């Protein structure tokens, strides 16, 4: 999953917009292939939304893996939700919500004061020791 997100960041950096990937792996990711694929597709949609609608200069994809769960965050420094348009009601946001719920995850979209948006997907995982 880490390699796929690194590739997404590299392919998505266009023009003056830089897309970075930052892994924070405190433990192995114990999610099945379906869950990993959904997380990748959520990251892909969130990055595309930021590129198309936000006017972002920097987009950061962060992947946190902890024994209790995995958190994927896509942050942008764009214009925010109010000026970017109705992103939360769009097809892409509904698709991300569906993907998150299909793997038992929680998706949220956070608009920051002064601009910028974070799309956050949290998925529980059992520890490797408990799964064995």
Domains and CATH numbers, the chain: 2-131 (3.30.565.10)
Check: CB of residue 76 under 8 Å from CB of residue 56.
yes
pLDDT digits (tens, 9 = 90+) for 55-114: 899 999 999 999 999 999 999 998 876 544 444 457 888 999 999 999 999 999 998 888
pLDDT above 80 for 126: no
* pTM of the predicted protein model: 0.88
pLDDT of residue 76: 95
Gap between the Cα atoms of 41 and 52, Å rounded: 16
User: Average pLDDT over the chain, rounded to whole?
Assistant: 88
pLDDT value for 128: 42
Neighbour count for residue 112 (Cβ, 10 Å): 14
74/22 Cα distance (integer angstroms): 10
């Amino acid at each position: 999953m880490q390699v796929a997100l690194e590739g997404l960041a590299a392919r998505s950096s266009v023009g003056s917009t830089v897309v970075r990937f930052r892994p924070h792996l405190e433990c192995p990711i114990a999610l099945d292939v379906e869950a990993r694929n959904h997380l990748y597709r959520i990251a892909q949609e969130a990055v595309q939304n930021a590129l198309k609608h936000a006017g972002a200069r920097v987009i950061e994809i962060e992947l946190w893996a902890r024994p209790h769960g995995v958190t994927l965050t896509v942050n942008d420094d764009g214009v925010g939700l109010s000026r970017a348009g109705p992103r939360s009601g769009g097809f892409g946001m509904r698709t991300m919500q569906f993907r998150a719920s299909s793997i038992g995850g929680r998706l949220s979209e956070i608009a920051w004061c002064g601009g910028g948006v974070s799309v956050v997907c949290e998925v529980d995982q059992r520890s490797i020791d408990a799964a064995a």
